[in-house]
Structure 1
Amino acid sequence: MTATESLPRRVRIGYGSGSVATGAFGTVPGLMLLPYLTDQLGIAALWAGVIVFLPKAWDVVLNPVAGRVSDRTTDARGPRRPWLLKAGIALAIGFALIFAAPELGSRWAEAGWVLAFFLATATAYAFFQVPYVAMPAEMTSSYDERTRLMTWRVAILAFTIMLAGASAPLIRDAVGGRGGYRAMGVVMALVILLGVILAYRGTRAAPVGAVEPGAGSLRDQLRIVATARDFRALLTTFVLQALATGCMLAGVDYLAGDVLGRQGASTILFVCFVGPALLLTPLWARVGERIGKRQGYTLASLVLAAGAAGAAVARVAPPGVVFAAVALVGVGYAGCQVFPMAMLPDAAAVDARRTGSNRAGVYTGVWTAGETLGLALGPGVFAVVLAAGGYVASTTGGTDQPDSALTAITLGFSLLPAALVLLSLLWLRSYTLDAEAVDHD
């Protein structure tokens, strides 16, 4: 099937279902892995940050390669869908093993287990995520239809983040200790597998479009992509915001347990963060249709930054004030997912028309590499902030923290992400593609 302007609803939902897998993998390690390492395995915060960062850094290198490979895949199902199934199954299995470290008699041996399986799982994720993100540029040629397609994807993503982010701490706490982390890992692996199967089956009727990989080596194509000014501006904006989001995800468990003194508040914070996105994602899509994607993205970013800054009062304000600030973050976060995800295929499609070569896989490989880098650096940066504040690691959890550590947790969750989001808008100003440029280029 060739790319079309309008897609059936079943295809939009089917494609969006892939966000069940990407949302679970993108959320739970960022939320749970750092506390697992510092509070169960007894790894110092700085080294725990390194362990969380390294597999994601590997993905930064691997993602463009995965894009190139999917561009050149020949299959009756299209170049992308076979990877959804093969890599997706490996992703689910690997995820369960990350949190299943046995008692090895050495915390460093156990940390090595986590690092090895996180690295393997990150590899599988690259070969799932990159083809998945590349599909919209080939499924439809319409500027507005891509926004509608991303609306379904972001709505399902928001639901998954809420489901995974809220339930993962509950499962861990219900079982307790390392066994709780193991149980949580298995449940989340099943959630990922469900998303993989739904996306694979749901896109079987999706248009494939003409996929003709550009000539030259991967280095040649990366060099060409790097010269695309609009793509470069959009990518820089998104990476800085992914870094901000990564900091906040890493800080949820610490903010809830150490600053608010309510371990169960992790679930409440996640509901506050994601709940608004479930309701407001379609509204952001309509905002984009009225004022344009770039202007909508700017507005959503300002709302997100305002909410993050509001959480800076966590140490002195009632918990309800913090929950309200995080809900405002959720309002902005919904738009900060809808707009860039709809703008990426615009940039790839314009490039394909101008050059006659389809580099959608390379574009999305670079994009997901940047996103992965931002989300990976988030916990790493937050771990540095913890270390600077004198956070005390343990193997039992619940250790009383010094005042400096509580301040570090609060600032790392609030003012630091807010500053990163505002900084990202300097690059967004350089993005120029609008409906006329995309539809009539």
Structure 2
Amino acid sequence: MSAKFAPLSRLQSLGYASGNFGKNIVANTLGYFLLFYITDVLAIDPKLAGIIVFVALIVDAILDPVIGFISDRMYSHKFGKYGGFIVFGAPMCALSFIAIFFIPVVSGSPIVTLLACLLLFRASYTLIDLPHNALLSRISHNSRERAHLATLRFCCSSIGSLCVSLAAFYVFESDDSYEQAKLFQQFSIFAAICSLVAMWGSWYSIKQRDIQGSQSVSNWSQQIRGIKSIFTDKQALIILFASFFSAVSIPVFTKCFSFFCKYNLNDQSLIAGGLTLIVVAQTLSTPIWSHLSRRYEKHHTLISAHLLSIIAVSFFTLTVYEFNFQFIVGCALVGVAAGGLWSVIWGMAPDVVDKLNYERNIRSEAIFIALVVVLMKIGHGLGATMLGYFLTAFGYDANVEQSADVLLVIRTMLFAFPVVGSLICIIGLQQYQLLHAKHQLIQDNLK
């Protein structure tokens, strides 16, 4: 077990959490707009677009456990356990992100070059994302402090998302696809620079804790036993289960949102305003979710977030047929629900790592976090693939007035995946039993 640390200072906490701003400003640009960018700017068939997104995420999902497996064996007196991945991965991630918006536009084979750029980005993003997530279990050993850090991280993620949603006012200023391509390019440079600076700052703010933590390196047999222990532990499986189905809830809503505003509401300008409202509500709600997850059990708080997600998505889908008061309220409710969905679960995963360490005497923090990330990405990819498939199947054609069938598909996808995903999560989380008090006993015995 690594050395016990005093509580993080406010500056250290904010410094570490700022890495989520760096990750999210690039990840959410693609999460919100990639499918729309491929279909309406690059003029690629939506079914093929969904497949491209899914393939990139699957390759990424394969790389996550590989990086987790490697990083569980890594340690450097200069970079600690995870610093090397972040310091060298951040510039690769920034450059590959820019390439997505520059190279396919001028390429004679946009499908091939887009896929290549996406694969390079997903690989380099894994180098920073997984280690930064795994650091949470390394720099703090208190369940309630982790809950606070998880929500602080999500607050920084929300600020990154806010930058993306505000950029949408600029990007969607023109209906011309050529002009939109140039505007996407300009924002990609800004976002990439922000990401690079934030990721470097994040690790350097807590590098001493990374360096001073455990230097033990598992052997291959221990790592294999660690992986087996994850798949035989009920609490670990619940977190993995919830990670996947959370990723096919609100994320599918945001992917559909651009299409819904442009075609169902016939007002492309609502994309920026609606996303900004969602992100602002999400950001403002994080202190509330932080308080709830520290005062009450984390899984109860997460269940509450999923219940609110069902209410919010249902309200929006059933009442919004034009820009009205319901549009504003619906976006705000979706944002508040998203704040709980993504902040609370990241405070639960490190607790499971400690439980497995205590019971099996193996600490496989990176590989467990990798599996959580893998399932989230598969969920994201599945949502994009299904959306693209149904749009193509019902006759979607970019930048023209859509048929009644296409409009119905967009509205149905906006509702069905988020509601079903949240319902399944609620059922699974009922079985979660790793409470605050039990985690504290585990920590006391690990000293």
Q: Tell me if 1:345 matches 2:346.
A: no
1:69 to 1:81, Cα distance in 2 relative to 1, 3 A: same
**Contact kept in structure 1, 2:249 and 2:419, CA below 8 Å:** yes
Distance in 1 between residues matched to 2:115 and 2:224, nearest whole Å = 29
Does the CA-based 8 Å contact 2:169-2:273 persist in structure 1? no
Aligned residue in 1 for 2:45? 44
Tell whether 2:129 aligns with 1:129.
Answer: yes
Report deviation, 1:350.
1.5
Q: Structure 1 315/292 Cα, relative in aligned 2: closer, same or farther at 3 Å?
A: closer
Q: Secondary structure at the match of 1:433?
A: coil
Distance across 1 between alignment mates of 2:51 and 2:70: 29
Cα deviation, 1:397-437, whole Å, max 9, x if unaligned, reads x3111111111111211233122211221211121100122
Please name the residue that 1:141 is paired with: 141
Q: Distance in 2 between matches of 1:132 and 1:105?
A: 34
Q: 1:79 aligns with which of 78, 81, 98?
A: 81
Q: Matches of 1:166 and 1:320 in 2, distance apart?
A: 21
CA displacement at 1:314 relative to structure 2: 5.7
Shift of 1:25: 2.8
Q: Which moved more, 1:331-340 or 1:95-104?
A: 95-104
User: What are the equivalent positions in structure 2 for 1:392-403 lying under 5 Å apart?
Assistant: 392-393=397-398, 398-403=399-404
Q: Shift in Å at residue 247 of structure 1?
A: 1.1
**What whole-Å deviation, never above 9, does each CA across 1:127-160 have from its counterpart, x for those lacking one?**
1111111111111211111111112111111111
What is the match of residue 422 of structure 1? 423
Instruction: Decide whether the 8 Å contact of 1:274 with 1:330 is kept in 2.
Output: yes
- The alpha carbon displacement at 1:8 in A equals 1.0
Paired position in structure 2 for 1:223: 228
Deviation at residue 103 of structure 1 after TM alignment: 5.2
Cα distance in 2 for partners of 1:58, 1:169 equals 32
**1:88 to 2:61 alignment:** no
**Of 203, 206, 216, which aligns to 1:212?**
216
Contact residue 265 and residue 321 of structure 2 kept, 8 A: no
TM-superposed deviation, 1:221: 3.3
Query: Aligned-pair distance for 1:211?
Result: 4.5
Q: Which moved more, 1:149-158 or 1:189-198?
A: 189-198
2:445 aligned partner: none
- Residue 45 to residue 103, structure 1, CA distance change in 2 (3 Å): closer
Is residue 177 of structure 1 aligned with residue 177 of structure 2?
A: no
Mapped to 1, the partners of 2:287 and 2:105 lie a distance apart of 47
Partner of 2:246: 241
Is the 1:173–1:180 Cα contact (8 Å) retained in structure 2? no
5+ residue gaps, structure 2: 443-447
Matches within 5 A, 1:264-413: 264-313=269-318, 316-393=321-398, 398-413=399-414
Relative to structure 1, is the Cα distance of residues 320 and 113 closer, same or farther in structure 2, using a 3 angstrom cutoff? farther
Q: Which residue of 1 aligns with 2:102?
A: 100
- Where does residue 165 of structure 2 map in the other structure? 165
Inter-partner Cα distance in structure 2 for 1:71 and 1:262: 49
Partner of residue 192 from structure 1, selected from 195, 199, 202: 195
Shift of 1:197: 2.3
Cα deviation for residue 13 of structure 1 reads: 0.5
Deviation at 1:214, TM superposition (A): 3.6
Contact 1:94–1:120, Cα closer than 8 Å, also in 2: yes
CA distance in 1, matches of 2:363, 2:35: 39
C-alpha distance in 2 between matches for 1:363 and 1:105: 39
Q: Does structure 1 retain, via aligned residues, the 8 Å contact 2:170–2:183?
A: no
> Structure 1 residues 272 and 103, CA, compared in 2 at 3 Å: closer, same or farther?
closer
Deviations along 1:217-261, whole A, 9 cap, x unmatched?
A: 555432222112101111211211112233122112111211122
TM-score (norm 1): 0.93
Shift of 1:387: 2.1
> Which residue of 2 is the match for residue 202 of structure 1?
205
Taking the aligned partners of 1:187 and 1:328, their CA distance within structure 2 comes to: 30
Q: Helix, strand or coil for the counterpart of 2:220? A: coil
Change (3 A) 1:185 1:42: same
After TM superposition, the structure 1 stretch with the greater mean CA deviation from structure 2, 35-44 or 119-128, is 35-44
**Alignment of structure 1 residues 8-23 onto 2, 5 Å:** 8-23=9-24
Tell me how far apart the structure 2 counterparts of residues 146 and 102 of structure 1 sit (CA, whole Å). 41
Contact in 1 for aligned 2:21/2:198 (Cα 8 Å): yes
Change (3 A) 1:277 1:246: closer
Kindly tell me: are residues 340 and 87 of structure 1, through their superposed partners in 2, closer, same or farther at Cα, counting changes over 3 Å? same
Q: CA deviation at 1:281?
A: 0.9
Contact 2:35 2:255 in 1 (8 A): yes
Secondary structure of the residue aligned to 2:102 is coil
Instruction: For residue 268 of structure 2, give the secondary structure of its aligned residue in structure 1.
Output: coil
Aligned mates of 2:257, 2:385 — CA distance in 1: 14
Partners of 1:5 and 1:333 in 2: how far apart? 31
Partners of 2:47 and 2:148 in 1: CA distance? 42
Partner of 1:150: 150
Quote the RMSD (CA, aligned, Å): 2.0
Distance 2:168 2:4 in 1: 39
Q: Provide the secondary structure at the position in 1 that maps to 2:7.
A: coil
Contact 1:213 1:357 in 2 (8 A): no
Q: Percent identity?
A: 20
Task: Quote the Cα distance in structure 2 between the aligned partners of 1:124 and 1:220.
Answer: 28
Give the counterpart letter for 2:155 in structure 1.
A
- TM-score between both structures, scaled by the size of structure 2: 0.92
Q: In the alignment, is the contact (CA less than 8 A) between 2:227 and 2:364 conserved in 1?
A: no
- Write the letter of the residue equivalent to 1:34: L
- Corresponding residue number in structure 1 for 2:257: 252
Is the Cα–Cα contact under 8 Å of residues 226 and 362 in structure 2 kept in the other structure? no
Counterpart in 1 of 2:54?
A: 53
Aligned residues: 435
Question: Where has structure 1 moved over 6 Å in runs of 4 or more?
Answer: none
Question: Partner amino acid for 1:155?
Answer: C
Contact 2:285 2:339 in 1 (8 A): yes
Q: Give the letter for the 1:387 counterpart.
A: T
